[in-house]
Structure formats: C-alpha cells, structure tokens
Structure 1
Amino acid sequence: MEDATRLHPEADPPREAMLRKIVHVDMDAFYASVEQRDDPTLRGKPVVVAWRGNRSVVCAASYEARRFGVRSAMPAITAERLCPEAIFLPPDFTRYKAVSRAVREIFQRHTDLIEPLSLDEAYLDVTENKTDLPTATKVAKTIRGQIREELFLTASAGVAPNKFLAKIASDWRKPDGLFVIQPGDLDTFLPPLPVGRIPGVGKVTETRLKQIGIQTVGDLRAFDLKALEAQFGRYGLRLYELARGIDHSRVIPDRPTKSISAEDTFQRDIPLSETEELIRHLAEKVWSASRKESRMARTVILKLKTSEFNILTRSYTPVVPPVSCEELTMIALSLRERIDLGPAQRFRLVGVGLSNFREAKDSPSPLFEESILGVA
C-alpha cells in the first residue's frame, strides 16, 4: 500500500496520529437557534432562515421546522410547502458572525489548535489542553457547558482519536448531545454504518458504491485496496482507510477557504440558452454557503462541460465583490455570454463558484480570465 503520509501532506506519522484527542463541535441549528434565543416569541416554533421567493434556498431551519422535513440548502418554496406555518426570517450574517466569534473565544480557553469549518462548526485538537482537564471528554463537556451558560445556545460534540471519527460522533446524538468513540470501538461501531455516513461520500459516490455492492462500511472493508483504486483512483485509498477508522490528517488552525462552488449534471445534454434556471439555483447555493465565511470572495467563476466532455471556465473579478445573491447571479449569467461555440453546441454540466477570498479591506483590480481546459 502507498504511504498515506506521502499522499496526504497535511498528515502526521501514524504513531503521532494514533495519540491524538480530537473534538468536533457543531452548533445546533445555529442561525435559527440564534434567532430563537434573541426573540423569545420564536422559541418552540418552526423557524426558517431564508429569504422568501422562488429562487431562495434555506440557510437554516430550527428543529421544530425539521420535523416537517425542512433542511438547509432546500429551495425556500419547498420549505414553505412542507411547513406552511413556518416563520421565515431573512438571515443576519453580521449577528451570526459575532456569535461565532464568541464561540471561538470559548474554544481558545482550551486549545489553540482550532480548525473552523464554517461559522457553526470546528475541529479542536485537545491532546494537550490549556485547562489541564484529564480527558478529551471532560474538555468537550466543559465547552458545551460554557456555550450553554454564556451564550444560551446548545452545541453537539464528538470525541474521537481523529477528525473523521469525531465528525461522525458529533452528529450521533444531535441536538445537544455528546458522543465518544474510543479506539477499541472501531470494529463494532463502524461496520454497520451506511456508507453514506462517511464524510465526503456524496450522492454520486454513494450511488457508485452501491452499484458494486457496497451498502455499509462493513461492505467497504471487504474490498481490498487494489479493487477500490481500480474503481475510484486515488480516492480509493481514502475510502480504504476511512472504512478502518484511519485518518492521519492534522487539525490545522485557520485554514483559509480557497473557493466555494456548486455544480450539477443535466439529465440530458442541453443548449446554452437553457442553462439559466440552473445557474440561478447554483448561485443561490453558493451564496448561502459563502455567508458562513468571514472573508469576502472577489472572483465569480462559471464552469461548463460540453457533451464532448471539454471543460470551459469563465471568471470575473470586479472592483467591488458581489454583495448580494442577485449580483452574484447576474455576474454568472453575464459570464455565460462569453461562451460562443454556436447554437448547436450542447452541454452536460454547469457550475458556479466563488474564489479569491480576501479580507474586506483588500481591493484588487478588475480581471477577466478565460480558459478552455482539456478533455475531462
């Protein structure tokens, strides 16, 4: 088997990785919970954080709304149909970021090794903690208690020997739960899990796995490394390791976001003129995801894949970054006009992205870029 440390440059040697104590903290229904905290009349009611409208998507849903099937990234119009009594609130990201900073300050009392994933979740390496608490479980309990007592919010936490397992654990007893996975639990805990519970296994990969008879993590363990690499290339090694609870990646403080994107493949190849609706939908998803970032994205990217599997990208960096979903959408649609392959050309995929994240004080010059990449 290839050396996992070489394949994953952010990994530590296996022995060091085995000694880690990792906590994954995930705020419960964060945006909606902040709204319910700050307005007592909303408590116990189905709250959906989203702009109303046919083109809007849900940023967050309270657990009362989730009982009706409402989920993040769902079209707002679908959420309204599922839960007619829902209270829709426009997102207030300035307030959410302030609360996120307060949560981060609590984390920093215990460790400096904090890797935020978004405004509402982070990995913490508490192998050595500042408060001399004897176990990672006690650290997690203390953090959850401080968040409850000081911020009047709840958080779920997972404790495990690595990031992969800690993330699974934090979701195990949501909301307001704590779950611990010990190294000795791996052979009983992992095999029964649906393969879709592995972080990073999306719908497409899950479908491919099921097509070759892999429904559970136990099924995945039954495949040897060469068979998985034949099916999934380099990602096959990652699947092989995760099925065995192996994850050598370190907690990296303040990992900067390089880009955020969303893409979708059409059920049939279509002309460029028919891509507008999906571009608008993808722009909504990307904009919603970008609101979790403290920095601003400067560059808008449009990606298209032709029926011949050629990938085309267009990007634009305005002087002032997009300040609304509508502006992002308009830029993405304008980039579509820079594709000129004739009316007969058909496309199988479209994607929208944001990149070039900077602090708000930075102000780059306008920049147009065009490229036609090789066959995918």
Structure 2
Amino acid sequence: MRDDPSLLNVPMAVGGQSMLSTSNYLARRYGVRAAMPGFIAKKLCPQLVIVKSHFSKYQEVSQTVREILSNYDPLFSSVGLDEAYLDITEYVTELMRGKEEQVPVEGEDRVTQSFGDSSVENTESLKHSLVHQTDTKLIQIDPESSQETDTKLLQIDDPESHSTDMKLQYGSSESLNDTDLHQSDDLVCDSDQCLPNSYWECAERVVNEIRERIHLTTQLTASAGIASNKMLAKIASDMNKPNGQYMIPPSREKILEFIRKLPIRKVSGIGKVTEKMLNALGIVTGADIYDKRGLLRLMFSKCSYDYFMNICLGIGSCTVHSEWERKSISTERTFPDIWKPSELFQKCHKLCYSLTEEVEESNIKGKTVTLKLKTSAFEVKQRSMTFPNPISSFADIHKAARILLESEMKNNSQLKLRLMGTK
C-alpha cells in the first residue's frame, strides 16, 4: 500500500491463489486472514485485490527498521522480519538524569526534550531531530541482575499491512509461586522500588519517537505497547492499532485490573482450540482463570497450569538479551495442488537444493532430514530420517528427502499436495 496508494482504501492481501501471507484491515472485515488460500479469500471478498509478495523489499525495510531500533538498544532481540524486543531502560535513565530533560507542564502544547547536544521543540523540530539522532550510545541492562532499574521491551508486527507493530515493555516482574491474587505484593515492583512515574512518561515519549522515526524513514506506521513484561507488552500493542501506542500502568492494582477484564483470546499462546476448551469451563476473562484455578489444576498439566496462573497474575518474561542457538534450518513452499510423481519429485529436488544453500551459508551440519507435506485436504505430515553422522551435502539431503517422499507416495497412491518442505 505504501508503494501503490490506490490500494489504501480497498481490501487487499499479499500472496497468491494458493496461500495468503497477510491482509489489510479492510479485507479482515470480510474474514480474510493469513494462511488462507487466495481462492477462498476471493469467495469471502470478491473485490479483494491480491498482490504478489516482495520478500527482498521486506528484508530491506526490516533492516532499515532494525538500524533505527539499534540506536535505542544495540542488543535488541529480533523475532523474524517484523518483530523485536528492546531493553531501553538505560536510554530513558540517561535522559532523565540529564539536566536538559524537561517534563511538559500540564496544559502546554510545547514539549521540549534534549537528545544528545540538540534540543527538540514542537512536532516539526521533533521530526527533524529524530531523523538526525542516530548516534546515541546505549548500555545493556540485565533485568535479572539490575536492582535499580526496570526493564523496557519493544516488539514489531504486521509489515505487509504496512503498520509496523511495536510492543514496548517497561517494568520488572518477580516470579511467583501459587500466591493469592489479592494478597501478593510481588506482581510488579512497588513505588519505592520502581522508577518514578516521570520515567514512564519519558518512556512513552521515547516510544513515540521510535514510531515517528520509523514513519519518517520508511513511510510505515507503527503501533506500540508499553507494560511491565513481554506478555503484557504484546497484549498492549494490540490495544491501539493501527499507528498508536498503549501503556499498562506499572502498578500491581492497575495490572490486575487490566488482566481481570482481558478476554483470554488476547493472550499470546491461547489459540482457538485452547479458547474453546477454556470457554467450555466457563473461563472467558483473566479473572475467570483465577476464580477457577482449582479446576484448571485438575484438567491441565502442571506446566499449563503455571502458564495460566502467570496470565491471571500478569507475570511474564523480562529477559530480552537472551543467547539463542539455532537448532534447525528449513525451507518450504506452498503451491497449487500437484499429484503427478514427476512434479512432486521436481519440487522435492528444488527444495533440497535451496536447503543445501542455506546449510552451506550457515556452515553447519545435521543428522536428521525431515520432509513436511500438506495435502490438498490440509492434513500435515512430517517424516524424518536420521543419519549416523552429521551431513550437509545436497546428495545426502536429497537422497533422504526423496526416500521419504517415495515412501509416502507408496502408502498413498492418491497423494495430492499443496505444500512441501525440507528441514
């Protein structure tokens, strides 16, 4: 939509007839969703405009956004092309410690804020400063070891809808055992342990600055959520879409009030299936989770129970700068239904070649080759073969994938596929 303004006010989606990767808000009103076949989307919305994806362009814009984010936290945690968590505690702390920082007076329209050596005044001056302010030095804060500061996080979503979604977290959280919802004082930090409200007000201004910089640089809008941990920040980011931001106040009372009224479907990790299961138990909101915690303990595993308890208590992870080791490399493709053996083997060959290139670029080896198949009936199957020693060559990867595919074709003479992947 950014590159073609004619699409701004029409239902549109990105992808093809076989599968869509995303859709804009107008299309979503008709039920058009990501991972939906394009021909089904067309039936739901006959006037839908489907445009091809431009992955190289998404990568370019994503890199631009990451460069902006790195000015606020060089060690930010990126999640795909369009999501990232940032710890900007040190950034805000340094701003508040500076003598030039001025908190706006109630009733005034003018906001003056200093960034480095330059003072920013009013919207136009702010935009000018944001474009040129790219050399801020940041220091990583470890939320688990810091006793004096809270944590801030930021996340971004939905690039194809051209509304880069940012989720900012600011606060600290202590893990709880099975503690009473109405008696626990450890849900969030108390006023004598947390940074003052002025720091949170500054955090809101910083988030607005980040969103402004993204818009000025990429012409993409951004929405943000500010809260005490990653779970709450992610939820908050959906509260003021598109192109807005929302902060859950950093107090125990406000967080619990927010969670009590929150529909469970808003929580990341609770999908349609889990929602139906919980609804069947009379659980619709966060308050219902706590009220029926005894039933949940009997119905679910301890791991799931602890997860539900963390939700109703507003507890989430504050770790941003985690060390992550890649465990696998995969590639997959969606296509119109194919069933001819020659076409299936050709598709397998191309996928194995693409996977080999990624393996060589990453300079890694693996012992297990996995073939992923999705039938025309949307049934997903995965078949694996493990080697005694690590492999990385095309010959070995292709040999294993072909054997797995041949085996599946023998077991199902009517095999018709719409997706194939190798890992």
What range is the shorter-chain TM-score in?
0.5 to 0.7
Change in CA separation of 1:250 and 1:69 when aligned onto 2, cut-off 3 Å: same
Aligned-partner Cα distance in 2 for 1:320–1:41: 45
Q: 2:52 aligned to 90, 94, 108, which one?
A: 90
> Which gives a bigger RCO, structure 1 or 2 (Cα 8 Å, sep 6+)?
1
One-letter code of the match for 2:269? Answer: G
Q: In the superposition, relative to structure 1, how do residues 64 and 71 fare at CA in structure 2: closer, same or farther (>3 Å)?
A: same
* C-alpha distance after superposition, 1:88-128 (max 9, x if no partner): 11111111011001011111111124222221122212222
5 Å-filtered alignment, 1:64-75, equals 64-75=26-37
Give the structure 1 partner of residue 9 of structure 2: 44
- Aligned counterparts of 1:149 and 1:163: Cα–Cα separation in 2: 27
Residues 29-76 of structure 1: CA deviation (Å, up to 9, x unaligned): xxxxxxx11223333232211122xxx221111223223221111221
CA-atom RMSD in angstroms: 4.0
- In structure 2, C-alpha distance between the alignment counterparts of 1:303 and 1:225, rounded to whole Å: 40
Give the superposition deviation at 1:149. Answer: 1.0
User: Which amino acid counterpart does residue 48 of structure 1 have in structure 2?
Assistant: A
Question: Structure 1 218/339 Cα, relative in aligned 2: closer, same or farther at 3 Å?
Answer: same
Does 1:242 pair with 2:311? yes
User: What's the TM-score once normalised by structure 2's chain length?
Assistant: 0.54
The answer for unaligned runs of 5 or more in structure 1 is: 1-35, 262-273, 284-289, 305-310, 322-327, 344-350, 356-376
- State whether structure 2 residue 95 is matched by structure 1 residue 132: yes
| Worse-superposed segment, 68-77 or 333-342 | 333-342
Asked if the contact 2:371/2:384 (under 8 Å) is kept, the reply is: yes
| Residue identity in the other structure for 2:7 | L
CA distance in 1, matches of 2:402, 2:47: 34
* Equivalent residue, structure 1, for 2:41: 79
Give secondary structure in 2 for the equivalent of 1:158: strand
Distance 1:334 1:173 in 2: 50
Unaligned runs of 5+ in 2: 97-198, 331-338, 349-354, 375-380, 413-418
Partner of 2:277: 208
Structure 2 match to 1:270: none
Between the aligned partners of 2:294 and 2:317, the Cα distance in structure 1 is: 17
Instruction: State the match for 2:241 in structure 1.
Output: 174
Q: The residue matched to 2:308 in structure 1 has which SS?
A: helix
- C-alpha distance in 2 between matches for 1:333 and 1:173: 48
Q: Contact 1:51–1:76 at 8 Å: present in 2 too?
A: yes
Q: CA deviation at 1:194?
A: 1.7
Equivalent position to 2:262, from 193, 214, 231: 193
More strand, by proportion = 1
Answer yes or no: is 1:314 the counterpart of 2:379.
no
Q: C-alpha separation between the residues in 2 aligned to 1:334 and 1:86?
A: 41
Cα 1:199–1:150 change in 2 (3 A) is: same
Distance verdict in 2 for CA 1:303–1:260, change over 3 Å: farther
Q: 1:83 to 1:147 in 2, by over 3 A?
A: same
Distance 1:211 1:117 in 2: 33
Counterpart of 1:246 in 2: which secondary structure? coil
Contact kept, 8 Å, 1:172 with 1:179, in 2: the verdict is yes
Q: Take 1:333 and 1:225, find their aligned partners in 2: how far apart are those partners? A: 50
**Which AA in structure 2 matches 1:248?**
S
Instruction: Specify the SS of the correspondent of 2:50.
Output: strand
Q: Secondary structure at the match of 1:234?
A: helix
Name the % identity: 34
Superposition pairs for residues 1-376 of structure 1, below 5 Å? 36-52=1-17, 56-129=18-91, 132=95, 134=199, 135-184=202-251, 185-224=254-293, 227-228=296-297, 231-252=300-321, 255=324, 258=327, 300-302=370-372, 313-315=383-385, 319=393, 335-338=404-407, 355=423
Offset at residue 255 of structure 1 (A): 4.2
The whole-number CA distance in structure 1 between the counterparts of 2:295 and 2:328 is 32
Aligned partner letter, 1:228: R
Distance 1:260 1:213 in 2: 41
The structure whose Rg is larger is 2
CA spacing shift, 1:202–1:353, aligned 2, 3 Å:
farther
> In structure 2, do the counterparts of structure 1 residues 339 and 48 end up closer, same or farther at CA, with 3 Å as the change threshold?
closer
CA gap of 1:259–1:195, structure 2 versus 1, over 3 A, is: farther
User: In structure 2, what residue type is equivalent to 1:40?
Assistant: P
**8 A contact 1:228–1:240 mirrored in 2:** no
The AA in structure 2 aligned to 1:314 is S
Contact 2:372 2:422 (C-alpha < 8 Å) held by counterparts:
no
Aligned residue for 1:84, secondary structure, equals coil
Structure 1 counterpart of 2:258, which letter?
F
The whole-number CA distance in structure 1 between the counterparts of 2:311 and 2:228 is: 13
Taking structure 1 as reference, are residues 333 and 222 closer, same or farther at Cα in structure 2, changes over 3 Å only?
Answer: farther
Scaled by the length of structure 1, the TM-score of the pair is: 0.61
